[in-house]
Amino acid sequence: EAQVTQNPRYLITVTGKKLTVTCSQNMNHEYMSWYRQDPGLGLRQIYYSMNVEVTDKGDVPEGYKVSRKEKRNFPLILESPSPNQTSLYFCASSHIGGTEAFFGQGTRLTVV
Amino acid sequence: EDQVTQSPEALRLQEGESSSLNCSYTVSGLRGLFWYRQDPGKGPEFLFTLYSAGEEKEKERLKATLTKKESFLHITAPKPEDSATYLCAVVGNAGNMLTFGGGTRLMVKP
């Protein structure tokens, strides 16, 4: 089954404690991206990757890092999480940039 | 800068009561307009891609149309299981990022 898998689904952490949210896709897609979704602000892109070792900033990259060492994986790293990063996060992949994206099930992150 | 505005923000319908959701967009050269459905606590699920004015796509009770300035998602004889948030997104010639609208939350009462 074609899918984008994120882990964990739920995470509560404390300010400043580094964390990683993993994302994996099994569709051999070149393009992967991370979004955050907040009430009243909609979906906003954090980072994207057009292929292995190629990443770039989206609209809201501050406080986040990403890496793309393998085609199927695109982890999101929060080096020093803060409460304003409490949000619902989605990973997505698509064949190439600008085409229909397939989303993971989401990771609800709470930073206290 | 690409912009997408969806209206209404929320829509309550009775089962069987047809209606339309609007997506107005501003983009420098439209490469594609996408409709997604999102259920609470889940990731958006892809519905349609439209590429040029005049294009239409259908899936069950849903029909998406596109003009040069807006897209409509028509829902014919909706059922309670159609209740969800519907998201619209565009991508322009200038880049490859999807820009999303705020969504329309649809509630269909039996």
Q: Read off the pLDDT of each residue in A81-86 and give the average, rounded to a whole number.
A: 98
Q: What is the pLDDT of residue B28?
A: 87
Q: What is the pLDDT of residue A62?
A: 97
Report the mean per-residue pLDDT for chain A. Answer: 95
Q: What is the pLDDT of residue A65?
A: 98
Rounded to whole angstroms, the Cα distance separating B61 from B106 reads 14
Q: Please name the member of B42, B46, B49 whose beta carbon is closest to the beta carbon of A106.
A: B42
| DSSP class per residue in A15-51 | TT--EEEEEEESS--SEEEEEEEETTTEEEEEEEEEE
Contacting residues of A for B87, CB less than 8 Å apart? 42-43
Q: What is the pLDDT of residue A72?
A: 97
pLDDT band at A60 (very low <50, low <70, confident <90, very high): very high
Residues 6+ apart with CB under 8 A from B29: B92, B93, B94
Q: Please name the member of B91, B95, B103 whose beta carbon is closest to the beta carbon of A42.
A: B103
* A7 has a chain B CB within 8 A of its CB: no
CB atoms B32 and A42 under 8 Å? no
Rounded to whole angstroms, the Cα distance separating A8 from B94 reads 34
Q: What are phi and psi of A31, to 5 degrees?
A: -100, 130
Q: What is the pLDDT of residue A1?
A: 85
Q: What are phi and psi of B90, to 5 degrees?
A: -130, 155
CB atoms B43 and A42 under 8 Å? no
pLDDT tens column, A14-33: 999 999 999 999 999 999 99
Q: Which residues of chain B have pLDDT under 50?
A: none
Q: Which 3 state secondary structure label does DSSP give A84?
A: helix
Q: What is the pLDDT of residue A21?
A: 98
Whether omega for the bond prior to residue A39 falls within 30 degrees of 0, making it cis, is: no
For residue A25, give both structure tokens.
């896709």
